[in-house]
Amino acid sequence: MDKSIPEMYGSLVFNDSVMKEKLPKDVYRKLHKTSKYGASLDLDVANTVAAAMKNWAVEHGATHFTHWFQPMTGVTAEKHDSFISPRSNGEVIMEFSGKELVKGEPDASSFPSGGLRATFEARGYTAWDPSSPAFIKDGTLYIPTAFCSYSGEALDKKTPLLRSMEALNEQAVKVLHLLGYDDVTHIDTTIGSEQEYFLIDKDLYKKRKDLLLTGRTLIGAPAPKGQEMEDHYFGVLKPKVSEYMHDLDEELWKLGVPAKTKHNEVAPAQHELAPVFETANVAVDHNQLTMEMMKKVADKHHYACLLHEKPFAGVNGSGKHDNWSLVTNTKMNLLDPGSDPYHNKTFLIFLLATISAVDNYQDLLRISVASAGNDHRLGANEAPPAVVSIFVGDELAKVLDAIDHEASMEKTEKTEMSIGAAVLPNFVKDPTDRNRTSPFAFTGNKFEFRMPGSSLSVADPNIILNTAVASSLEDIYEALKDVPEEEFDHEVYKLLKKMLDEHKRILFNGNGYTDAWLEEAKKRGLYNLKSLPDALPQFKAEKNVDLFTKYHIFTESEIDSRYEIKLENYSKTIHIEALTMIDMVKRDFTPALFKYMKAVEGELLDKKALLGSVDGYDLRVLKELDACSKAIDEGLAKLEADVKKAEGEVDSLAQAEFYHSVILKDMDDLRVPVDTAEAKLPSEALPYPTYDQLLFSLR
Ligand SMILES: NC(=O)CC[C@H](N)C(=O)O
């Protein structure tokens, strides 16, 4: 490391301080207005910004620029253009215009559109998002953009995210003005997205077709040791893993990604990185960069980084916990209860707005995290169940109880905690414990949405959350806007009580994994949408279409397109998994199995010739392997036949349901004899590495 960290941090970012330095004052001011408050930008300003950006980028070794966007594939997209502009004398100059900065025209034909346009309609536009800073990576200037079709419909995740942030801002500011905060002109939704991942040896990774093609293991007997000792969680970092994490931090810091925390996670070979929270759209961009860098840096360190939600059966999967809050331009965190939450009207209003939003749109929140990968993760191993509920913790539960019973409540003194050894410090106890099984947990001054999966774009859940809360806030505004001042406080608590009455069914502080909770949740009328095909029809429910269209998040055709893309993506993912499994079982596993069986058979024949009898462990192994081989044959035949049926299904929902209920089940059934047989084979008989090698070989 040749630079100090403050010097290195953001050194490849065209950030606010670079803009301040490089742009004329009036241009800087106009740009700031656009990026903060959405004021429109004229071409002169864009030209000046583009020239300054280009000069800065070229100084830092960039030769190209790209509009960087997030189509509905869930990953990012880019097309690089060089700055060169040939002159008639055979020379070139480096040029970049305001027009090129503001608008791009990538060929959009091969991106998923879910029927928003026909395949022959190729044109799409990218539009600069000045609220997320440009940066340099691998000699190219990256310009964060939104992506839309020729007719202006969103073909990406950024556009609806920005729309949802604006909707929430508008409603929140209205409510805050009603509460007397006249100095508030703007609120930001902030996100800190914890990112879990697995690291495995690159050579081992390359030997597993399932990891290469699908990101998860489709077969594999469990290792003798899993995570039961819980010794990996927060365990000492292995030297090489620590070097990787160090390198990763540096790469992210250069890009202005505020990577803050790193540690080993619960499963063997699993880790986590958490950033400091940032404005939602910047945080979404930075999370995409984090995932990309995790993979790139892993490659340099001879690792493979797995971002799949459930790469290994039997141990924890990986999530992307979304820490969400609301902050005003005056730096007030609207979800901070302060020292006296019962009397903190502002906090209570935003708390109840969130509670009612989560209750009203549980189905949409579930859909926002539904994917073939994440569906394997939810409901076990510290990932929340598919039933959405909210954990508020003891202190807030008491406050809400008081509101519910129209009882007043004294300010509760903070509890000092003593650990019992004089040498150790006393400290103030947190108002709430944590609850790992809760999908939506209050953690002191923010909510942690624990359902999002590690590979998903965190844009999706935040679009829903922002919009749903905007809608609750609008209801609150409507209920309070004409209340005379002297009755205001009374009416606020009356309204809070009413909202609590209507929505307290979503509150649950217990263990979300128990059957008793699932029963209870059913009685309370909460959704239990177990899989993507179970959940997705709700995306088009009338109340949800009304929400999206009212706040201009999605048009009806954008809703249809997202519905189709989600289903298509789900079916295609499982289709590829099924074909990969068939391929691996037929071409990798069974040849190894037959070879080993042949060897045991030969050994038995020799033994028989020698001893005249063939009783013993070897015979038992051969018989058991033979039984597995028969079951594999049946399992393969069924899976192959059902895949054919699935391919023939034309209705996208019916197809996804078939993949869920038939193909996944076939795959589970086939896995049983394969894993049973694998556990009887010597490791070297297999052409690919086993779970113990994958999970325990890192140094
Ligand atoms: N320690 C944790 O928070 C584990 C979380 C878990 N890995 C998940 O899937 O969400």
Give the H or E element holding residue 70: none
Stretches where the chain sits below pLDDT 70 are: 1-2, 108-109, 117-122, 413, 430-434
Phi and psi based region of residue 337 (left: phi greater than 0; alpha: psi -120 to 50; beta: remaining): alpha
Note the pTM of the prediction, 2 decimals. Answer: 0.94
Ligand 1, atom 4, lies closest to the CA of 382
Going from the C-alpha of 418 to that of each of 34, 229, 394, 427, 455, the distances in angstroms are: 51, 28, 19, 7, 41
Helix intervals (H) in 649-682: 652-658, 664-678
**If DSSP codes are grouped into helix, strand and coil, which group holds residue 566?**
helix
Q: Which residues pair with 264 in a beta bridge?
A: 271
Q: Of how many residues is the chain composed?
A: 699
Whole-number pLDDT of residue 384: 87
Q: Which residues of 22-42 are buried (b: 16+ CB within 10 A; e: fewer)?
A: bbeeebbebbbebbeeeeebe
**Look-up: residue for tokens 């999530």?**
319
The residue contributing the CA closest to ligand 1 atom 7 is: 318
- Decide: 316 in ligand 1 pocket, CB within 6 A: yes
Q: Do 527 and 388 meet the contact criterion of CB atoms below 8 Å apart?
A: yes
Distance of CA 195 from the midpoint of ligand 1 (Å): 10
Buried b (16+ CB within 10 A) or exposed e, 523-542: eeebbbbbbbbbbbebbeee
Q: How far is the CA of 314 from the centre of ligand 1 (A)?
A: 14
Distance CA 239, CA 156 (A): 40
Report the half-sphere exposure of 159 (CA within 13 A, side-chain side). 20
Residue 46 Cα to ligand 1 midpoint, Å, equals 44
Q: What gap in Å lies between CA 559 and CA 564, rounded to an integer?
A: 9
pLDDT at residue 421 in the model: 81
d(CA 541, CA 367) in angstroms, rounded, equals 12
Distance (Å, rounded) from C-alpha 99 to C-alpha 298? Answer: 37
Q: Is the CB of 383 under 6 A from ligand 1?
A: yes
Residue 592 tokens read as 């190894």
How far apart are the C-alpha atoms of 338 and 346, rounded to whole Å?
A: 10
Chain position carrying tokens 């589970």: 668
β-bridge pairing 270-275 and 195-201: antiparallel
Distance from Cα 334 to the centre of ligand 1, integer Å = 26
Q: Give the ligand 1 atom nearest the CA of 450.
A: 10
DSSP string, 526-551: -----SHHHHGGGGG-HHHHHHHHHT
Q: Residue 199 forms beta bridges with which residues? A: 305
Model confidence pLDDT, tens digit, residues 274-294: 999 999 999 999 999 999 999
**What ipTM was estimated for this complex?**
0.97
Q: Where are the alpha helices (DSSP H) in 541-589?
A: 542-550, 556-583
What domains sit in the chain, N to C, each tagged with a CATH number? 5-155 (3.10.20.70), 163-554 (3.30.590.10), 569-696 (1.20.120.1560)
303 and 198 Cβ atoms separated by less than 8 Å: no
For ligand 1, whether the C-beta of 377 sits within 6 Å is yes
> What CA–CA distance (Å, rounded) separates 336 from 329?
15
| Angle made by CA atoms 258, 129, 251, in degrees to the nearest 5 | 30
Helices (H) and strands (E) in the chain, counts: 25, 21
310 lines ligand 1 (CB under 6 A): no
The minimum-distance atom of ligand 1 relative to the CA of 317 is 9
What residues does 328 pair with on adjacent strands?
187
Distance 443 CA to ligand 1 centre (A): 15
Residue 659 DSSP one-character state: I
First to last CA, the chain: 23
Joined tokens for residue 677: 């047989």
Q: For 359-385, give the DSSP string.
A: HHTHHHHHHHT--HHHHHHTTSTTS--
Q: What is the reported pLDDT for 32? A: 87
Residues β-bridged to residue 82? 64
Are the C-beta atoms of 521 and 387 separated by less than 8 Å?
A: yes
Please tell me the predicted confidence (pLDDT) of residue 383. 81
pLDDT in tens, 412-430: 767 777 777 877 777 777 6
The residue whose CA has the least distance to atom 5 of ligand 1 is 382
pLDDT for the residue numbered 235: 84
Q: Please identify, by atom number, the ligand 1 atom nearest to the C-alpha of residue 267.
A: 7
> Where do the H-state alpha helices sit in 269-371?
280-300, 345-360, 362-368
Q: Which residues pair with 322 in a beta bridge?
A: 193, 449
CA 607 to mean position of chain CA atoms: 57
Is the CB of 287 within 6 Å of ligand 1? no
Pocket test for ligand 1, best of 216, 273, 310, 316 (most atoms within 8 A of CB): 316
Tell me how many degrees the CA angle 542-546-552 measures, rounded to the nearest 5.
145
| Dihedral pair phi/psi, residue 406, rounded to 5° | 50, 35
Phi, psi of 313 (to 5 degrees): -70, 150
